[in-house]
Amino acid sequence: MMRNRITRSAALLFVLTAAAPLAAQTAPAVPAGRKAAATAPKAVTATVYLTPTCGCCSKWVEHLEAAKIAVKREVTADLEAVPARTRVPSQLRSCHTAVIGDYLVEGHVPVDVIQKMLKEKPKIAGIAVPGMPMGSPGMEGPNPRPYSIVAFRADGTTYEFARR
């Protein structure tokens, strides 16, 4: 008489193959690539409105690109006609206006301050560096001066967001 002998490895293989369909029914299905997409940071893009002749604006755009911010340049001879710019209080205006995420960024704002704003998500319309202060990104040169990065709300109220 011949006996059926099951080896330990054959029994383990049987248990694993029998349990696989059960595990598939109880485990939530996650599409391939879904987990990576959920943990990957959202790409930052900027639309920058600038005049064709401003060299410091181009340097500021390079400052953004060095931080891996994708930039779309919108060159215009009439910066005052840009709808986004009309939302920036006149006393805060500079030589270029950007739309980054849900925010306006006016002038030579340092990229780390932009990143702080995007991370903290304050309830503001945007941030600005009024004028063109020496030492701000794109305005590097001798004798840098301290300057404020000003947050502004839709109602026109302002406060100092950061200082350099």
Looking at residue 40, what is its pLDDT? Answer: 46
In a domain, residue 33? The reply is: no
Residue 88 and residue 156: Cα distance in Å, rounded?
8
- Cβ neighbours of residue 68 closer than 8 Å, sequence gap 6 or more: 44
Domain holding 134: CATH number?
Answer: 3.40.30
Residue 114 and residue 142: Cα distance in Å, rounded?
24
Which region, left, alpha or beta, applies to residue 5 given φ > 0 means left and ψ of -120 to 50 means alpha? beta
Provide the domain limits for residue 75: 42-163
Count CB atoms within 10 A of the CB of residue 161.
20
- pLDDT band of residue 32 (cuts 50, 70, 90) is low
- pLDDT band of residue 42 (cuts 50, 70, 90) is confident
pTM: 0.74
- Between 16-30, 59-73, 109-123, the lowest mean confidence (pLDDT) is in 16-30
* Residue range 91-116: mean pLDDT, rounded: 97
Work out how many domains the chain is built from and give that number. Answer: 1
Residue 110, CB-side half-sphere exposure with 13 Å CA sphere:
16
